[in-house]
Structure formats: C-alpha cells, structure tokens
Structure 1
C-alpha cells in the first residue's frame, strides 16, 4: 500500500514506528494506546495466507501489498479451469485514490466491471478488451486491444470487481486462457502481450489508498471533542476524495548540540549573528547571546519562549536552540533579501519596488501584528516594530525576526508597567511618558513603518531640518495640511493610484495619533490594508482567485498554532506555563555553564 498524503511519518510518542518493513505513522498504531481507533490498528501475521509474514491494517488490508483482482480462466471448450471472478475491498476509513489508480482489464475475450456505491446509489463502470491474435496487440497500450483501463470514480471506500468472457475464450484459448480485472497504481502496470498468456506478475502492482479521519471537514471536526489536530499540527481537507480530514506535523523547534553548531558556524559573523549551513544543506542564521549581560539573558529567554508559542507565515521560523555552550544560541531560518530598511533607503532598490509590492508588505506586516495581538491564546506585544526588524524573502514577503523585547500579555491585563523599550523614531510617545505597555505601542510603530515605506525617509534623522527630524510628527502635520503627495516617493506617485496612496497615508496617520485609545486596532488595519491590496489587484485586472485565498488566510484561525495553556479556564495557568518554561531554560543555561 502507498498513501497519497505527503504528511511527515510520525508515530505517537512512546509507540513503535515500524512493523516489519512498514512505517507506522499516527493515527495508525500497533497497540490500543497508539492508534486512533480499531480501523487504524496495525497487526503482524507471521504466517500469512501466502506463507509469508503479513502486516495488516484493521482486519483485512495487507500492507504494503494491497492488491485486489478478479480473474476467470478456461482450459478448453469443456469448461472453466478455475476462477475468482468476483473480488471485493471494504474499508470504512480507507479510500481508493482516484488520482493515482486505474481500473485495468486484460484479455482478448474479456469484459469487466467495477461496482460500487456513491451517495448511497449503486453504479458500475466497465470496459471491453478484445483481440483476434497476438499480432494485433501493442505492448504498453491499454486502448482496448488486449488491455483497457478506466479512471477510478472519486471517493470509493468499497467496491467489487467482476471479470467475464464473451465466448469462454474458445477462439483465443491458445494464447489467452484468462480474463483479468484489477485496480493498480497509475503508471505502475505496463501492459505486455506476454500477460495474455500468464499474468503471474500482477501481484507486484499495488493500488494507492488514501486515509482520512472521520467524515467531517476540518471546520466541522475541530468543534468535536475527539478532534486530533491540536498543538503542533495542521488540519487539511483531502484534495482528492473529500471525505474526512488529515493532518501534518509542523516543523517544531529543535534542540541542537554544541558540536552540531560548531560545525556550521561561518567566519565573519556580524556582531552576535552568524550564517551557517546544516548537514542537510539548509542555510540558517545563528543568533548568539552575550550571557555576561543580564539583560541579554532575559531577552534570550523571552525570545525563545515567545517564538515557541507562535507559527505564522510572516514570522521568521525558529528552527532550534542550543543551551550547552557558554553563550546560548538560537537557530533561525535564513531569509534571503535582507531588511526592509535596506531596501527603502537604497534608492536603486526602492525604485524597483512596485506600488503593489508596497501594499503587499504593509498588508503582511499588519496581518502578522494582528495575529500577535489577537489570535494567540495570550496576546504578544512586539515592542520593537521597525523597518530594520522586518526581513524580505525571495518573493518580497515580509518576515519579522526579532522578538527579544516582546512580551506575552495575560488576557485580563490590558496595561503593564514596564521600562521604556524600543527604538527612537518608532517609540510610542504615550508609552515613553507613562511606561504603560499596550498593543497600541506596536500600532504607533507600524504607522511609522508605513510612513517610511511611503516617503523613503528615515524615522529619525538629524540631517533633516529640525521640524522634519521626527518622521511621525512631520508626516502627520503634512497630512493635516493636505500636502501628503509632496513628500511621497516619486516612483510611488507615478505608479500608484493617488487615491490609494492617500488612503494608506491616512491609515498611517490614524496609527500616529498621540492618544493610544484613538488609534485603530491591528485587526482593523489588517483588513483595511488587505482591502486596498485587493483593489490594486483588481485595477490591474488580476483574476479573483489569486487573492481570495490570501484574504481568507489572513482572517482565518487555521494559520495559528499551539494552544497555549491547553484549554485553561483562568488567567493564572498561562502565567505558570510561562514561568515554568522560563525556569527550565534558566536551569539548562546553568547546566550548560
């Protein structure tokens, strides 16, 4: 058997992951505590029907050689030599892949049927294969001369096969005594004229089966108590059969040894950040913490805890960490195109940015911050949103890498007193004066990023006249005077819709209001920016299907990961989880030293 899913093969913890030569991923398992239900049980029969050991799914599916065929053979005109002219497969959880299998019929006096039910209605498909002599047969062809084949209907869990003969093979018995019908993996069975006389090798052509859990879609299943795609996993509705759901394990944070990282560190790293290549040729970034600085220890622990709680397409992925060395290390995916700051302030690069790319970057940053503020089980305030902390990948998608200053916030704590932290020019003036930490500080910083993106000017520059040094203040005053187009980058004005540019500028101005309570939420901003992005795609006549999915993903919860607290009922449990994780990291750091 082969499965049509591309999910990583991972067994349930503390369960055997192999049975003979067969890998056993969850929801399959060998013992009762390792499989989801009886339909996914795997057993080993050391003396199978063929005399060889068998690995079985459920009660009757032989893995890896699931092969179902019907045949009918005639020795001469006196009668039937032997037959198994009706064969069947039944499994409530396994579906025959309609994209990777074919119904195949072999014979020169042959017709055959595949019978099944669809929507509780019986149906049959069939084909005819005839030939008068071996001279008519074409090797490799199943067009109806000696061999015919059909596509498998979608969603089959049960079927029967019937192999029949028109004239008991009396006219072709000398070179073709049998009729055969079977289901085989597409491309696996290569018809040969030799098969007309004997089809002994047919058992080497297994079919491909899909598995799914239950009969509900992901959306319906996640409301049920037995829904299994929790924690570091993602749910998918099967593309090819539409019954039940499947899941894949997300790439989780890995603990590296000091020896592993010593082998991959490259020379000439910038400050505490290094570029390396792992043994599997994956390029990574390694961030080194200066443990002699107490604030660096706190930032390291904070960043580790925050990043293990989130999984989002616009957050740089934490691949692992190492606590064995004097200086603890974080290992990230490598993002190819550098920082947004570099692109904005390098004129030869920024002029190549289309208006659509500007909208895309602003929309992605807004979506990511909206996710951090409202979609995780404990809101996360970034505290250091700036263009130097936003990376661009090969598709110019925005990725946020630095969470050292971030804070997890309990759901019933809307304000937290902290030391002022951030970067001047992006720092919320209200936070600067009150030291009260709220998500409104990130919103102010986002407004500065958008202003920087629109104007090409740095957030703070002493090279500008005094009235213009602080971009946020200058930007707000220019909008108030309705002169915003005068300070927008020329290539944006020449390419973008003036009305769209003004709308984006006004959204940034709302973020830059001095009173945090008057600023919009990041969720509102994410929806507004995505709406403008869609409008821009309409303007260039791009098909609707290109952006509908993106909008749904932006506003959908299925991009979020890790149920922090695992269903807690009060605000105290996340705190204890956070403190527990912090204590574990501190203990590991002590052990490493």
Structure 2
C-alpha cells in the first residue's frame, strides 16, 4: 500500500516536472524570473540587472525595461510596484497612489514618470470620489502638457444614489486620453458648505483599472484605498515597423514572430505568427493543435500537426475528408475507385489532347502574327517608343477586320492618293468617322524603317496644322496607318488645277503658307524633340474643307536630339525641293526644311511646278529661274499671270524676298522656320490692315533678312512692272553670299 502511494507521488512529480520542462523560458539565461520571495513573473524584454552566466549581458532589452526588487516586490521606475506583466497584450499592471485633498497639509498629488509607456486608454478610467470635488489628470506628450478631469456634485442631506454607480453624484469618471505619459493626479474640493461636511471633507482622485474599484457612499467619509492597480501600455524601440526594412540588426522580433505598429504612436510590438505561441522577443514555438484541442478535425487521431498549422487526414484504409463538418471518412470502395479512376483518366486524356491541339493552333497563329509584326518593323517601333515620352494623343490599335470593313476590303475606287511608299484609301469607321488609311505598297527593309519612323514622329506631334495619326495596324502582311481624313486634296493640286486667279486666290495662298510655316516652326522648335520633316513640298501639304493647311507624310522625317544641330543621313527628298547643301554634304539640318519651304513659296508665287523637262533649259529649275529673275529685276515675268494687283503688290514682293532668303546656298544664312513663320504672319497683318506702314518696322525685317537699307521698295504704276534701284539693292543683298 505504501509502495502504491509512493508510485502515485512519483508519477505526480514527474508530470509536474514535464509541465515545467515544457514551459518555454521567459527570461534570458542567467537572469532571475522573479524577485526573491515574490510571485510576479518577469518576462523578457523586461529584466533585473545583468546575467550571471552571459558575461554581463543585460537581462533587459532596453534601459526602460530594467526593473528592480524591493524585498519581494518588483519595482518599476523609482518607486512604482509592478503587479503583473503581459507580453501578449503588451501591458504592465502597476500599483499607483490615490490623490487626496482634505484642505490639510498632508494632501497628496502623486505623479509617475512612465518613460515611453503610456496609460492604457482601454483598460483604465479616471475617477473622482467626493462631494463637490474636482479631479485632474495631467500628462506630457511631445514636450506639451495635456489634461482632463471630472467634477462631482451632491444635492440634499441624503444622497439619492445607488452604490456601484459613478455617474457624477458623489463619484464621476472619464475616459483616458491617448498618449498620456509622465502623469500627475490631483484632487480638490470646490466648496466647504454644510453638505460637504456632512458627507466628508475630502476629495479623492485616481486612475485605475475598470474593475478594480466599485463606488460606495461610505467611501465619501472614509476612502479605503491608498493605492489601486493601473495598466500601462508598452512598446519596444523608437521606430515603427518600416524603420527596420534596411537594418534588421536592431529588430527585436525573433523567430516565428512579426512586427506590429497598429495603434502605436511610439515604437512597435512583436506578435507571434498564426499557429505559434510563446514570447516573441525570445522566439515563438509551434502550437500543437492536435494535442491542445485547437484543431478542426473529427478527432485527435485524424489530426496531423504541421509547423504553424495542422491538416486533417483519414485513417489508413479510409477515404474522404477528416475535417469537421465534411462528409467524413469512410471505408474505401475499390470498385468505385477504379471506375472513377478510369473515367478521370479518360477525361484527363481528352482535356490534355484538346489542350495540346489548341496550344498548337494558338502558337501557330502567334508565330504568324509575330512574323508580320517583325516584318512590319514592330520591334523597331517598340524600341523607338520605349525611348519616347507618352504621346500627347492616344494612338488606337486597329484590327485588320475593322479596316477591311472601313474600306470595303480595300476597294480601288476608294483610293484617294499614293505617297512615296504607300497607297491611301478613304475609309468609314463603325462610329461614322471618315479616315484616310495608308498601306505600304510592298514590304522591304527600307520601307519598314520609313513606316515605323512615321509612327514615332507623328506620336510626338500635336498641332492643328499637322495631320493627326489616329492609329495603326500591324497584324497583317502589309502595315497600315490610320489618319484623320483631309477632304480638299493637296496644295499641289490646288496650285496646278486651272482656276480663276485673283486677289482672293493670293490671300488664300498666303494664309496656307503661313499655316504650313507655323507647323514646321512647331516641329523645329516647340515639339518635345525637334523634328526635321526632310520632304517639304506642296504635295505633302493637305487642305481640309476650309482650306486649312495640314502638313503630312512624315516617312522621311528625323528626330534631332536636343544637343545636336545636324545629323548625318543618306540623302532623301524630292527632286526640285532638295536642299543643294544637304545634297552636297549629307548633313541634315533644320535649314534643309527652310530651303524646301522656299521652293514652296516660289511655287505659290508662280503657279509653276518646281522642275519640268518641258520648259527651256534655263527655266527647268523653278528656283534657279526665280532667283535669276530677281537679280535681273524681272520678278513680274516669273509671277503667275493675274495674281498681282495694286492691292497686293507689296505683299507679293515681300514674300518673294523672303523666298529668296530661304533659297540661299549657305544654310547658316537662311532664316529659321520660326523667323519665316513670323514674317509671313506680319505680311498677313499688313494684308488685313493695309494702313500699317511696314517701313516703320524695317529694322526687324532687316535683321531677319540680314539687310540694312532704309526702304525696301517704291511703288509705281502696277502695269509698268518696273523696280526701283532700292528694290534691286534689297534683292541683291538678300542673295549675297549665296550664289
């Protein structure tokens, strides 16, 4: 019998030892877990002094967590007794004094320096007990003092209030403001009338846990407590969680834990990951849900613990689902399993074969599209656009079916023009917008670069006198570009179609020239990256229904880096408009466009094509013939018959001089497109306001054309077609150093 009792004692002792051994350590090695004779556990990051086995290593994480012992009492700060420490909730319960005021010299107004701990606003209340009493709680945050308080009142000689309530009569309470640190509590009596004397002369104020004090009217005459428990919230460190992304060495959270700075104004907290438990500042351990009953399985036998979680299985020889609420586990049905297995295999094979066929077809289609994409220069386009900023206008990607429908399968009757490397069709989109669709004639390496160059250039431009690119299509063998539709043809057609020539014709020509010059000026100096058109001619200037100019065909254009004034290229352009300096040096500059625009101005003045083998040899080159006539004082001989009259004679002469300046052989002596556009606008103003004396702004004109005479011309009889000496001098100066 005695042996049996001895065995029972041994078994109980062993069980206790196993529990103790299983309990994870809450302190660092060599550190005390309690004060001697005390029963308050001291979990890390809190600690007392230094480790006895770790060569003087602190038992605490930071100085603010360093506690001390006073006999068996655990002391926080200088004189505050700690009652408990909760690592999970990050709270510490301490014993704090009650403030008392009895109009005596021994009144108390306790204070506590909480360092970076704050008074918990969720666990505490500020209460004041007394008749006609006032309680105050003051704290410091960010070097500023904040305070709150409450007032009690008593009416009649007999208090009509139930014990346990604290509603303002004899007892009041308020919530604790956030971030209250380094607190001080004060109590005061507001009056000393007979009523106060009947119910006691003292006032009491304190911060305490919700359930640590229950009001009683007897407390008005004699308050029973000198101290009450108070809860402090604590955090570690002085950074939030994001402050440790670059420096993990100072991170206090150990294995299987994470940082949490929710609802903290200073520092952070460490919390065990889901499925783990313990002290996150020492490292959390796995929770065996199967042993603790925290699993979701039918029974412990069906539960299998995993690191941080668990899974529910069926026992050997069973099938089904071992999770609670499921169909459960049952004995395996071999026949059913075989049937299901065969059916599943057939389904899987069908799905696999079908998927492989669809993948094959999809890859075949993708390869074909990739072939066309590369063939149309798509790789070059992506490379070009990747180095550019976003286009100011959204470019739409059209499908081949959309454009086929818009052009009635590219019907030849809808062809409206043919460019240097493409055919242009008129099309109508589904939203009833009329567009012009440009298709390359053939696919070769040279045209790929031109096609992609036009897309890149137009994506950089947003100007009312530049034709708008609406989108493109690359998924077919021949690439397509979609433009806004410009309905009145080209300037070339306008000039070389027989029509009545009069002053209104000249005004329209002058306006078109000014608009085209403004667009080219924008390309040269106002676009995000300067653009040289490289093929300026009348057939590349379109006219809309109001005969507004639209510069088009940017297949030959070039983007010029801002740090360059010229670029070396293979010579490209249209015979008759081509800059002779560019032809000679292969150095493309903005002045190459200026020369070509000078030819356009001459074409506007004369109504003749820039080059024609049907004319005599000395007149085949229109620009050379024009300049020759200027030198020989025969401007009227080269002008289109009927275009000049007494009203516009001065304007025409100024445009002729401007054209001559643009046609100088030396590119540096030509004006810029901005200067050309400005001069044309000024000439148009003279047209609108004929009373303006252009001779008064002669210095500006002289600066533009590098001249210095005091007057440009004198008018005689419009039928005489004779120039004065000053006109001759003016023209010769404009052409000087250029021929």
Q: TM-score, normalised by structure 2?
A: 0.39
Max Rg structure: 2
Greater length-normalized contact order (CA 8 Å, ≥ 6 residues apart)? 1
